[in-house]
Structure 1
Amino acid sequence: MTLTKKKEGGWTLASDLWPTARALNAATAQDISSEPLLQVADFAQHHFALPHADCTITSELDIRFGLGSSTALRLGVLLAAAALHQNLTTLDEHTKLEAAALAFRMQRVQQSFASGYDVLTQALGGVILWTPDYQNWPGQYLKKLDPKPLIPYLQVFVGGAGAPTSTVGGSVRTALQDSGRQRDFYEASNQCIRGWLNLWQEGAHALPKLCQDVATQRRIFAGLPYFPEQLFHNFEFLPGFDQSWTAKTTGAGGEDAILLIGTHGDTEEATACLAREGWYPLPVHPIEHGASLYSGALS
């Protein structure tokens, strides 16, 4: 994304999701409340005292991939606006956390159930071991881990139908509550987190237990709205599934991205299965590649 000051004309916004650029001063209140880019631009214009700016958003990643695109969008604009406001070329961690907190508040307007883990990870990078404090978000994150030990065991595949977070997340949350499985889901999710940390620390030795933990969590999702039942049914016929390798969805629980968890040797047939169903590897590996931000002229 690029954000540059100009002398007049208010904010002009261009996105590769829109056919033409849009002027912020022509947007209605309904437009601003429903469009993340208009929402964050309207806030940044006043919060950072930037009355006139050109903002351009481009992305190589489809919003259907389930990788937190709306939070990344808000965070990117806020970080760039902070850089312009303070005339900085780099931002310290404190400023990044302040921007993340602002992005999280906006996220909660549209997704009241959001925890903010996505925007915090996007702001700080790495693997975040963190207990949120919703009274003073984010509170103290406990530890930031180097993600490289996970590289041999993680592959990300995209190409599904997508899962609109508000719609899918709300439906899944309601279904869990109505079925009395919400507590089971939280416990299973916490166990998965512990499994990921053990994989990070111990490598292949911890993989079978993580496979079991992921399978337990997935069984709670099975049958809920938007879950890709057929894809996981196909996996069940492949050798080693939920034993030496496993798979899970990202995002709100629908057909977003798919994580293959296991070595390349163990997931070879799963990769072929995904390819037959139209899935393909994410163009960039989330661990091997960082993000860059260009805030334009800082004058």
Structure 2
Amino acid sequence: MITVSVPGKVMLAGEYAVLEGSPSLSLAVKKELRCTARLSDFHKTVIRSDIWSEPLILDEALSKEPNNPLLDTVRWACKEWSLPPLEITIASDIQVSDGLGSSSAVRLASLAAMAALTGRQEQPWDLARLCWDQQRQEQGFASGYDFVTQVQGGLVAFYPDYSCWPGRVEDHKLRSLIPYIHIFRGGKGAPTGLVAGSTRKWLRERRRMLSLTQRSEQLIQNFIGFSQASVKLPELIQSVKAHREIFEDNPNFPLHLLRALQELKGFDQSWTFKTTGAGGEDSILLIGDTSDLDEARHCLSIFNWQALDTEISAKGMTFHDQAE
């Protein structure tokens, strides 16, 4: 029996630009998903998850749960790797509606656990690429930044090179950044494929992709510079503002939150806000010193947005051998 844990992730900068081959900057959080794999006592593969009321038999579940990332990953591995019947158990601190990469986490953890249990030699980056391939085939597009972040952990700058996977992956200092990054959840969730697909089309139709790429790269440089104390907070805030303005008239952008936050003291001066990832109603970021955010926290609570009870984590995917 083996258990693999995979952290949640948050995109700081590079959303949509990374789909065009530009870099991204993201971080791992301490909320995690755990997958335990063991050889089955039955003659069929059985899958358990804390979001299901009862176990599912793989062959029977596929027709009932189409496009489920866990079932699709287990099915792929069982077929491509000719695996024996398995028992797969998922337990997760990552809520689907939090926007912290629950789908990528369950793909990566389940594939890694099955590979390790059955003695396959895939390395973590190989597993990440397999997951990226599956995600890309199902959604029609994918950058792989989520799997890279969840394998690596910490604060990750990802410079993709799909001809030499994964490209360049840089690990940056977290300590000085932690007090200034505040994650809030809306609890509604955002269907990544739908929101990302429509927003990507919108960016192209309005010919904003080049501008987005330029502003994203500047924002990444300023986040990294801020973490290294070479960029001051006001400069970082102005980069966030410039990046956010690209999306403000997008139908998926939470404009009501922006309008409310703009009325508060210090907005875009001592603190600021941005969407993250696909940019729907799942999670947003407040960026600033905690002491400057009391009004913003209260304002967001009126709209039922709550601070996410987690911390930034330096730990990436981890394997735990366990005795039966």
TM-score normalised to structure 1 length: 0.89
Distance 1:288 1:133, change over 3 A: closer
Q: What amino acid maps onto 1:22 in structure 2?
A: L
Contact 2:36 2:89 in 1 (8 A): yes
Distance 1:295 1:250, change over 3 A: farther
Contact 1:196 1:210 in 2 (8 A): yes
Aligned twin of 1:21:
55
User: What do you get for the CA RMSD once the two structures are aligned?
Assistant: 2.3
Contact 1:64 1:162 in 2 (8 A): yes
CA distance in 1, matches of 2:65, 2:143: 25
- Give the deviation of 1:181 after TM superposition: 1.3
What secondary structure does 1:233 align onto? helix
What secondary structure does 1:86 align onto? coil
Structure 1 position 54 matched with structure 2 position 82: no
What secondary structure does 1:283 align onto? coil
Which structure ranks higher in relative contact order (CA pairs < 8 Å, sequence separation ≥ 6)?
2
Structure 1 position 116 matched with structure 2 position 149: no
- Give the deviation of 1:121 after TM superposition: 0.6
What secondary structure does 2:157 align onto? strand
Distance 1:279 1:193, change over 3 A: same
Contact 1:169 1:252 in 2 (8 A): yes
Contact 1:226 1:254 in 2 (8 A): yes
1:282 equivalent among 298, 308, 311: 308
1:5 equivalent among 36, 39, 56: 39
Aligned twin of 1:180:
207
Distance 1:297 1:107, change over 3 A: farther
1:240-279 counterparts in 2 under 5 A?
240-279=266-305
- Give the deviation of 1:49 after TM superposition: 4.2
- Give the deviation of 1:170 after TM superposition: 0.6
Q: What amino acid maps onto 2:261 in structure 1?
A: F
Structure 1 position 234 matched with structure 2 position 267: no
- Give the deviation of 1:217 after TM superposition: 1.4
Contact 2:151 2:317 in 1 (8 A): no
1:122-271 counterparts in 2 under 5 A?
122-141=150-169, 143-202=170-229, 205-271=231-297
1:66 equivalent among 91, 99, 106: 99
Distance 1:148 1:82, change over 3 A: farther
- Structure with greater helix share of residues: 1
Distance 1:47 1:149, change over 3 A: farther
What secondary structure does 2:123 align onto? helix
TM-score normalised to structure 2 length: 0.82
CA distance in 1, matches of 2:75, 2:50: 19
Aligned twin of 2:16:
none
Structure 1 position 45 matched with structure 2 position 78: yes
What secondary structure does 1:56 align onto? strand
CA distance in 1, matches of 2:317, 2:293: 28
5+ residue gaps, structure 1, are: none
Contact 2:98 2:185 in 1 (8 A): yes
- Give the deviation of 1:107 after TM superposition: 1.2
- Give the deviation of 1:225 after TM superposition: 2.1
5+ residue gaps, structure 2, are: 1-34
CA distance in 1, matches of 2:200, 2:109: 28
- Structure with greater strand share of residues: 2
Q: What amino acid maps onto 2:302 in structure 1?
A: R
Aligned twin of 2:10:
none
Distance 1:130 1:289, change over 3 A: closer
- Give the deviation of 1:122 after TM superposition: 0.1
Contact 2:150 2:316 in 1 (8 A): no
- Give the deviation of 1:137 after TM superposition: 2.3
Contact 1:64 1:160 in 2 (8 A): yes
- Give the deviation of 1:176 after TM superposition: 0.9
CA distance in 2, matches of 1:170, 1:265: 37
- Give the deviation of 1:275 after TM superposition: 1.8
User: Percent identical across equivalent pairs?
Assistant: 39
CA distance in 2, matches of 1:183, 1:225: 20
